[in-house]
Structure 1
Amino acid sequence: MGSKSTTLLLIGFLHIFIVTSSCSHLYSSLGGNFSGDPGELNSNLTSMAKRLINQAYADIDPSRLIDFHTHILGMGNSPSGIWINPAMQSLGNPLRYFRFQIFKNAAGIENIESADQNYLKRLLKLIDNLPYQGKFMILGLDKHYRPDGKEDPEWTDLYIPNEYIANIAKQHPEKFIPMISVNPHRRDAIDKLEYWRKQGIRFIKWLPNAMGIDPSDPKLESYYLKMKELGMILLVHVGDEGSVHTGPFEKFGNPLLLRRPLDMGVKVIMAHCASDGTNKDLDASSQNEISNFDLFVRMMNEPRYEGLLFGEISGLTQINRFDGPLQTLLKKQEWHHRLVNGSDYPLPALNTVVWTGSLERAGFITGDEMEALDLIYKYNPILFDFVLKRTVRHPETGERFPSSVFMFPKVLK
């Protein structure tokens, strides 16, 4: 989801939150600073906005259009089974509370008594008002488990059951593909993999920093072997995480820890291309702290991981990520066939993390493009995220992400 840098941005606003008597406007300014109905976008588009949207879809095959990273959220007010840690809803934990309120706002949750329904209704409306819908992979999120197989509610901020994800996808098969989340420390982890594979599900999501998973743990080899046997693919958060509480488990976002499943032949998609934070260089005797993105680059450069290691580009346009990683990925044309798109929705709706003015000043977009993109954001953050990624260009070479990044790659089918 988010990153440590995203959290630091929010900390900077915390004193405002404390002294503000009414926080709804503040949440909107930092969270979902959109005001237009998605259905009214077309009647309010400028000529530049129309041009950018048309260019974004011009060379896309709608039947292959895919978003690999879409979150389903809620409050558990329905039979969804969603669970939210009480610490995220208590002023006794001001940062976690503040962060959660902003995410709720960005997600379009207006009433906690109907939060599950609010979130899904908003997501469906955004998708229904896209020029071409494509498919969205919706993600489960398993609980934090200890290595002994016991649940750890203290370190579980958010639980999104696989059953809920699967049911939504079943109700809207033209829009959604379910991606399950199975913590390998679960005592029934292998059984869960087999069960969900029989349901036709092939993709698994991990957030190791939040779920308490060290991907390099030798005890996980049976899990990886089962994944390979079943032809399942792992989408895994790499780099720092700031949307949920991680504490001492932040180190599990180290890309190098994923050498074990890769070396066993498991296909791995690294979310965000490890574009934020630092970790120990476990390949070096010194084990100095270096950029997670540099570790990702090293692994992408290793020929043995061709056809196994992929990068997912959600978050690359965020203020805390674009300076360095975005330039590199735009320029590395030899990697483009190994990149896939994800929105990480609702993050594109967070007004605090995507600063189009900074992208314009850095040369990724022009001033006219910035104004058009800002207009699109006001009505549809998902469309905004897609059009922005199709618009950004390398400040020096002009290289862009090709259409293949936004379509389902045959190698992952």
Structure 2
Amino acid sequence: MSLPATKTLNPCLGPAGIDRNRVLDMHCHVAGIGAGGSGAFISERLRRSWKYQVYLRAFGVSEKALRQDGDGLVVARIAQRLAASSQVGEAVVLALDGVVGADGELDPRRTETYIPNDFLAREAARHPNLHFGASVNPKRRDALARLERVKADGALLVKWLPAIQLIDPADVALTSFYRKLVELDLPLLTHAGHERSFTAAANHLGDPCRLHLPLRLGVRVIVAHAATSGRNQGQDNLRRLLPLFAAHPNLYADISSLTQANKLRFLPRVLKAGIDPARLLYGTDFPLIGTGLTSPLFSALRLPPRQTLALLGVANPWDQDVRLKLAHGVPPEIFTNARQLLLPCARTL
């Protein structure tokens, strides 16, 4: 007796039928210590912090290996581990500009971490599964020329950490910068809410209500982590963000870090807030998904025990992140939104 014919399974389809080739992690950090002439640096203050060694381990490198092989090793390790994922095909790796002084130049004394655009653009181009995310502090004397340059180098977006780079998004002096972003069709990925990955932060600059200006000027703004930390004006930042979606159709948010132990309570709030799912984007905040902060153990009270155990057995950090977010009810279509927004005409890998 012959068996009935069955459909051939697509090896690229993961949980809920998601095609890994359509999944783009649009929020992936790198790091560097200046090895190999990268121009990157980490401040002595941050290197003395316990966080420094945690980050190195999460990147899968050591300081000795970086000094031997150069900072490009961090990017190569990301590409290798991502290539082994069965759920995520590509990622945007993010540069990070520093604090800029009154003279329009980088102020290294007040900068904790610096990842130059030219270094990251060059290294990302070596790996077909990585894309370049630029960072330009608008206080740079040549900020508009830098935007032109990163666009020519293939940048998919511009990343800000206002509380760390000391940028006020509401400053009208940034109008020409915002208009250049619109002209170049470069979205702005900006952190909102409180920042705790560094040793100090001016968290009032992370108030999402400070984003009205770039939104009114037509910038496509992506709010990192959906502003799910901290408070401003006596109100939690997520609550301050939500009304902006109705007012500005060019506003998006990413769901990176929302399975961290300290943010789990926010994930259902974001999913039930009435935000159009097309305006929520998939990101991981790598390397934080490799630090243990997003361990499925923190979700044990919210998920069936068998599911928690199965998630703990998933070794690849991207695979675990996708499966964990699906388990928490993230709609499957959200995982492909970032690629549609940032690479609308690109072919899949």
The reply to whether residue 391 of structure 1 matches residue 327 of structure 2 is yes
Query: Partners in 1 of 2:295 and 2:21 — Cα distance?
Result: 31
Structure with the higher helix share, 1 or 2: 1
Q: Match for residue 185 of structure 1? A: 139
1:374 is aligned to 312
Which amino acid counterpart does residue 354 of structure 1 have in structure 2? Answer: T
Deviation at 1:123, TM superposition (A): 1.6
Residue 255 of structure 2 corresponds to 313
Task: Report 1:107-256 matches (<5 A).
Answer: 107-114=59-66, 116-172=71-127, 174-247=128-201, 249-256=202-209
Instruction: Indicate which of 286, 289, 294 corresponds to 1:354.
Output: 294
State the shift of 1:117 in Å.
4.8
CA positional deviation for 1:56: 4.4
1:269 and 2:222 equivalent? yes
Kept in 2, the 8 Å contact 1:73–1:160? The answer is yes
Cα distance, 1:134 vs structure 2: 1.7
Cα deviation per residue 1:373-406 (whole Å; 9 max; x = unaligned)? 1111xx322221122112213xxxxxx3232333
| Contact preservation (8 Å) 2:193, 2:228 | yes
How far is the alpha carbon of 1:99 from its aligned partner? 1.5
> Per-residue displacement from partner, 1:112-154 (whole Å, max 9, x unpaired)?
3526254234322211211255221010000111355242223
Q: Distance in 2 between matches of 1:82 and 1:407?
A: 31
Confirm whether residue 98 of structure 1 aligns to residue 55 of structure 2.
Answer: no
Assess, with a 3 A threshold, how the Cα gap between structure 1 residues 121 and 63 changes in structure 2: closer, same or farther: closer
Structure 1's unaligned 5+ residue stretches are 1-52, 91-96, 281-288, 394-399
RCO higher in structure (CA 8 A, sep ≥6): 1
Q: Is the 8 A contact 2:284 2:321 kept in 1?
A: yes
Asked if structure 2 preserves the Cα contact closer than 8 Å seen for 1:336 and 1:405, the reply is no
Paired residues of 1:62 and 1:132 also in contact (CA < 8 A): yes
- The TM-score, its normalising length taken from structure 2, stands at 0.88
Unmatched segments (≥5 aa) in structure 2: 1-10, 345-349
Residue 19 of structure 1: aligned partner = none
1:260 to 194, 199, 213: 213
TM-aligned CA distance change 1:240 to 1:112, over 3 Å: farther
Contact 1:336 1:402 in 2 (8 A): no
Report which stretch shifted further, 81-90 or 107-116: 107-116
In structure 2, what is the Cα distance between the partners aligned to 1:56 and 1:332? Answer: 27
Which whole-Å CA distance do the structure 2 matches of 1:81 and 1:193 have between them?
Answer: 19
Percent identity between the aligned chains? 32
Whichever residue aligns with residue 358 of structure 1, its letter is F
Sort the Cα spacing of 1:405 and 1:132 in 2 relative to 1 into closer, same or farther, 3 A.
closer
2:336 match = 406
1:67 aligns with 2:25: yes
CA distance, structure 1, for counterparts of residue 306 and residue 40 of structure 2: 42
Tell me if the contact between 2:88 and 2:318 (Cα under 8 Å) persists in the aligned partners: no
Deviation >3 Å, runs of 4+: 53-58, 404-413
